[in-house]
Structure 1
Amino acid sequence: MDEEQTVSVSKELNNDMFSSVLGDLINFIKNSHDTTVDEIPTAALLTGINMPDHGAQFRALSKQIKQTVSSHVACLYSQDCQNIKYLMENMIYQFINEEEFPSDDYAMAEHFSSGNAMSLCNSNKNEVKQILNGFTHEDCENVRQIMSFRKLVESESYANRIKLLTDDAYFKKILEQEISKINKYIKRLHIFLKCLFIMVEDLPKAPLGKQIRELYSIATSENITKTTEYKECFQLLGFQSKEELCLKLSKIVNYMSKLINDNVKQNKMKDVVDELSRYLDKMNNFDLDEIEEAVNEIENEDNVITGQMDRKQLKEKLLEMTKNQSKPMNKYEKLRKNVIQFLSETFEHYLIEPSSFYFHEIFFFNNISIQNYIIGTHRSAIHNALNDPQYYLQCNCCEIPNGAAITRCMPDICVAYKLHLECGKLINLYDWLQAFLSIVDPVDIDDDTKRTVDPELQARFTQAVAELEYLGFIKSSKRKADHVTRLTWGG
């Protein structure tokens, strides 16, 4: 058998082996939820150390899962799992941005578990209408529980208030109108946030952030145009050179022009593009070094020097005139001021906060309690695990009658942890060791008799103390070498 045949046979064997492994994994995933389980079904794939490209193997596996099991697949690498928060963000990002996903809206399950009202979180006008046609009286009542509905009721006349509260048909009509307003707002929000990002992304110290998601986070929680960072950005834009400003305006015009070509209904956007194009043409049609010759005439009497003045009075008057008399602006400076003012007014009009709309809660989720699920309370979980290991280990030997009890069958770190809870700020290591030994290896000896410590038990105690120090419960004491300092208090 020559070399080419050997390579060919080797590849064929590898393909057959991989296909077999892949098939077994797919079958495991398909059948993993046939029975009720209390833990996440997990399979370990040993790829070996000689695989030239593990990434290709996992991409093939991911593709196969999407085709045969579910399109909801996220591939997480070790660098994506530095902590729970980062892991969750990366996983959710992959779910939301998966190209093969259907066009339905994806959001936190808790948001959509609030009732059928959240099913209106849809950008398709016809689908919203169909959903409303299927709404029952209970569904309408569910929507009426939304906080912003109260503002809507208070803004209406007395007769309309009664209809909003009792007439479901009238309520659905108003609700459809408000949903349409929010959908238009969201589309324009994305467009003008992108335009704002083009203007501010390269400013010194990036007051509004270097990523568009940072602008989106601010804009959906408050009126971004009223923030200190926004005002700082526009102050910095007032010092932009002609080349820098023209480049940014060109990017905005090109970006918005493409959107207008794709959607003929964007009349208001067309007005913005036309105005920016006029400013851009003016900037390109004059010399930056051309200075205005005419200076504003002095009309204020305070700027006129009259009467007799001594040297001190004359000096003060001249200083006052210098402060009050502004420097003449050249054509570019005037034009720059006008275009920045136009942009600011445009952003102020379109980048209002979502909470200004009725029923905004359907589209924007701002429930801080969701952090309890994404960002776990690590210290509480660690305390529960160390104080009552049976809760996680589910073993009968570690079961305790109360929270203060300690048994010898507990893991060493749990014994050491529960003993340290009984100590003060400074913990004597020798006393801690003796207490540890009295539990894990109780021996009847007199109080005056010095016990010989088994090296194995001492090593176990040392390891437990080191683990507690790593977890942040204790640290070495600078005051006493044979003591450690306790760092946490309470459960």
Structure 2
Amino acid sequence: MESTVSVSKGVFLFPNGYKKQKQSKKVPKTLFEKLFTKELWYITFKRNWNFINSEIQDLNNRTYSELLNDIVHYILSVYQANEAITQDSIIPSATLLTGVNQPDHVLQFRALIEKIRNEVTPHIAMVNSQDASTLKHLVENAVWQLIHGHETVDATEDDEILCSPSKKLRKSLCTMKALKKWYNTISSSSSPKKKRHGIIKRTLVIIIPDFESFNSNVLQDFVMIISSYVPTLPIVLIFGVATSVSALHKSFPYHVSSKLLIKVFHSHSSPAYMNQVLEDIFLTPRSPLHLSGKAFELLTDVFLFYDFSVTGLLQSIKYCMMDHYYGDNMKSLCCERDKIEEVLVDLTTQDLENIRQLPSFRPFVEAQHYETQIKLFEDDSFFKEILYREMNKLHDYLNSFYICVRLLALFVKDLPKNLLGKTMREIFAKCANDCVASTQDFADCMQLLEFQSQVKLVETIKSALKVINSALKIVSPVKPLRSTPTKNNMENINLSYDLGDNFVKTVRVHMVMFLKQIENANTEATISTTSMGNEIDVDVTPDNRYKLKEKLLQATRVDKIQSEFEMIRSRLVSYLEEMFSKGLQPPGQQPFYEILFFSDVASVKKQIVGAPRGALHTALSNPVHYLQCSCCHLPTSESMTDSLPDVCLAYKLHRECGKHINLYDWLQAFAAVLKPEEDDELRHQDPKIQARFTRAVSELQFLGFIKASKRKTDHVMRLTW
């Protein structure tokens, strides 16, 4: 029977090769963006965070580029350089030491996959431990991703024809035999376009990102299976190891590890990468938002004592940034220097009034003339002019402050005891909290600088000049505000522009001068000895022994005259003390510093530093705190009502018991609260109450408050408090 002949009536569809074009889906805006997309503070926040995000992406590319290039080069050359690999069934394997910062591994392996896909092969499989509990699941996931790896890349028409049969392969049929058959198919029938260019991407890459989380027996069997297919399938394994290479050797016995050709690649440590992120992005005058000393210490402590996650640190900074900008248009002045004038034009009278209520505005007003004080409160145009100049002055201060922090870190990083810290972030935290130039640690560091050698001082000053020269390229001059006219009584404003561009240039001149003087200084010192031996009266009677001792000490006195280098070094230390005392004034002493600095630590600490135990206790003992419903409102914290959630009611009742809790008594108390009007012997027999009680007890056991007791079958043991 022909294909168009049928007993019943029907419609016959013939495909004509037409392919529906993929329509790009527009990402819908979130509710937050719909509400605040036109707000001035949200526009500034969005622009600033996009700038920070782009800086982070550039830093990631620079940081991981060398590591990723080495791995890609190893994958490309491993089968070409070692022909004996296929004969001996040895699997090329790259071991990437990632460190313990687990949240950062996702971005790292995502960048690695993208790099391999663009330069080596589209056939990549990344199998996590939760997807490979057994050997069967591990093989199925790896083979399925290798066969369908082309789907993640924009394939040509020839590729679609070649790979179309693989789309019909079910996951349960994904075996090593199916992989071998598929690989032979694509190898023998490569597209003419690829043959013309001579590029055939055939390597198969399997990535295991969390090696320590895998079952060692499953991985051993997997490696042995792959080793038998290496002569026909060019497979490369990539292990992500969080601890050390010894974990790989401990998991694999000799007969398994001998099948692996291991090449170790080291990633950057988490603290070093965090220091790089902070120093290159946030501890610079280019950063749109600046952190106060306490906020900075909070974020770094969370990183060092909790998770070692740079991703978590960046998300915490983003949360602080959102809290800083949210609902406050005056924080729109926390922007780039060239955007200040545009923002000032859009500020309303209420926004200017909010700026006048800042705590740092009061000492600024009190230092002005009484006529100027009246103008600052009554004339908005005049206040905008002053605000524009003060914001530029604040940016000048930030430029000088961060340069001085970097210079101080250069001069004190190699001093013994590390009184001010080893890294720039430690020194910044101390400088932002207090005037560091007036502390005893700073004085001790300056005293230790007077003992440094000539060679070391020359190297430090050269490094300082590099920092200063790079900073002078980004310093922008202060321009007059064009949107408002300059008032006649501007000369009554007490403004000082000692910091900024002129301050940095002055420091550079002094550093160049000291560098030349120290390089050409003479290190030889002259010594003059005063001899008084002729005047000593040798009388050893008991009465004159004290006088004899004094004369002997005077006779051996040596007067040392400082060398030329020591004199120049003393002048350098004196200049550094003067420069740092001027440039390292804490931000809290600057007018309007609240606009650029985030200092509300208390409001974000409970969100950044989780307290699960306290939150869990609050949710179970007082559910209205989170549910915000009237039915759960309690007159006192110890009272109970039948409207409470079952788990909350069971939690309150279990707190009244001792170490061992009788389940029957607990059920009776639970039923008494739910149905107080019924008979005591009947209400706990209700199957609905029993089911609700059983579920509440199971939830408490899941949360870790109770556990089953082995001593008594009808008792549970209390675990907390």
Q: Secondary structure at the match of 1:310?
A: helix
Is structure 2 residue 328 aligned with structure 1 residue 115? Answer: yes
State whether residues 416 and 465 of structure 1, in contact with CA within 8 Å, keep that contact through their aligned partners in structure 2. no
Encode CA deviations 1:368-426: one digit per residue, 9 max, x unaligned: 3322333344443121233356977999xx979775438899777x6775345336xxx
Encode CA deviations 1:416-458: one digit per residue, 9 max, x unaligned: 75345336xxx4x34566754655799969xxxxxxxxxxx9x
Q: Secondary structure at the match of 2:422?
A: coil
- What amino acid does structure 2 have at the position aligned with 1:331? E
1:211 Cα deviation after fit: 2.6
The equivalent of 1:228 in structure 2 is 440
Task: Pick from 167, 170, 175 the counterpart of residue 387 of structure 2.
Answer: 175
State whether residues 116 and 142 of structure 1, in contact with CA within 8 Å, keep that contact through their aligned partners in structure 2. no
Q: Secondary structure at the match of 1:147?
A: coil
What are the equivalent positions in structure 2 for 1:40-439 lying under 5 Å apart?
A: 48-49=131-132, 50=142, 52-53=206-207, 88-92=312-316, 108-113=321-326, 115-125=328-338, 127-260=339-472, 266-286=501-521, 288=523, 290-293=524-527, 310-315=544-549, 328-370=561-603, 371-387=605-621, 404-405=639-640, 417-419=651-653, 421-422=655-656, 427=658, 429-430=659-660, 435-436=665-666, 438-439=668-669
Q: Name the CA distance, whole Å, in 2 between partners of 1:433 and 1:326.
A: 90
Q: Name the CA distance, whole Å, in 2 between partners of 1:461 and 1:137.
A: 58
Q: Name the CA distance, whole Å, in 1 between partners of 2:421 and 2:436.
A: 12
- What amino acid does structure 2 have at the position aligned with 1:385? A
Q: Name the CA distance, whole Å, in 2 between partners of 1:380 and 1:400.
A: 19
Q: Name the CA distance, whole Å, in 2 between partners of 1:462 and 1:131.
A: 53
- What amino acid does structure 2 have at the position aligned with 1:467? G
Q: Secondary structure at the match of 1:108?
A: helix
1:186 Cα deviation after fit: 0.8
Is structure 2 residue 704 aligned with structure 1 residue 467? Answer: yes
Encode CA deviations 1:281-314: one digit per residue, 9 max, x unaligned: 33333454x123458x99xxxxx999x9821245
The equivalent of 2:152 in structure 1 is none
Distance 1:483 1:137, change over 3 A: closer
State whether residues 409 and 424 of structure 2, in contact with CA within 8 Å, keep that contact through their aligned partners in structure 1. yes
- What amino acid does structure 1 have at the position aligned with 2:567? K
Q: Secondary structure at the match of 2:341?
A: helix
The equivalent of 1:14 in structure 2 is none
Q: Name the CA distance, whole Å, in 2 between partners of 1:393 and 1:168.
A: 45
After TM superposition, the score normalised by the length of structure 1 is: 0.62
Distance 1:234 1:164, change over 3 A: same
Encode CA deviations 1:192-236: one digit per residue, 9 max, x unaligned: 211111112233342222332222223233222223332232233
Encode CA deviations 1:220-267: one digit per residue, 9 max, x unaligned: 332222233322322332332322222111111222234346669745
Distance 1:84 1:259, change over 3 A: closer
Gap runs ≥5 in structure 2: 1-21, 35-125, 133-141, 146-205, 210-237, 239-302, 478-500, 673-679, 683-693, 708-715
1:136 Cα deviation after fit: 3.1
Q: Secondary structure at the match of 1:220?
A: helix
Gap runs ≥5 in structure 1: 1-22, 37-44, 57-78, 96-105, 299-303, 446-456, 471-481
Distance 1:263 1:186, change over 3 A: closer
Q: Name the CA distance, whole Å, in 2 between partners of 1:81 and 1:316.
A: 59
Larger Rg: 2
- Number of paired residues? 384
Higher strand share: 2
State whether residues 209 and 215 of structure 1, in contact with CA within 8 Å, keep that contact through their aligned partners in structure 2. yes
Q: Name the CA distance, whole Å, in 2 between partners of 1:377 and 1:209.
A: 30
The equivalent of 1:450 in structure 2 is none
Distance 1:406 1:294, change over 3 A: farther
1:184 Cα deviation after fit: 0.7
Q: Secondary structure at the match of 2:350?
A: helix
Distance 1:400 1:267, change over 3 A: closer
- What amino acid does structure 2 have at the position aligned with 1:362? I
Encode CA deviations 1:161-194: one digit per residue, 9 max, x unaligned: 1111112222222211111110111111122211
State whether residues 223 and 352 of structure 1, in contact with CA within 8 Å, keep that contact through their aligned partners in structure 2. yes
The equivalent of 1:449 in structure 2 is none
Distance 1:435 1:389, change over 3 A: farther
1:335 Cα deviation after fit: 2.6
1:150 Cα deviation after fit: 1.3
State whether residues 653 and 669 of structure 2, in contact with CA within 8 Å, keep that contact through their aligned partners in structure 1. no
Q: Name the CA distance, whole Å, in 1 between partners of 2:453 and 2:611.
A: 50
Distance 1:465 1:259, change over 3 A: closer
State whether residues 632 and 643 of structure 2, in contact with CA within 8 Å, keep that contact through their aligned partners in structure 1. no
Two-structure CA RMSD over aligned residues (Å): 5.0
Q: Name the CA distance, whole Å, in 1 between partners of 2:354 and 2:476.
A: 37
1:116 Cα deviation after fit: 2.5
- What amino acid does structure 1 have at the position aligned with 2:511? L
- What amino acid does structure 2 have at the position aligned with 1:150? R
Which stretch has the larger CA shift, 268-277 or 194-203?
Answer: 268-277
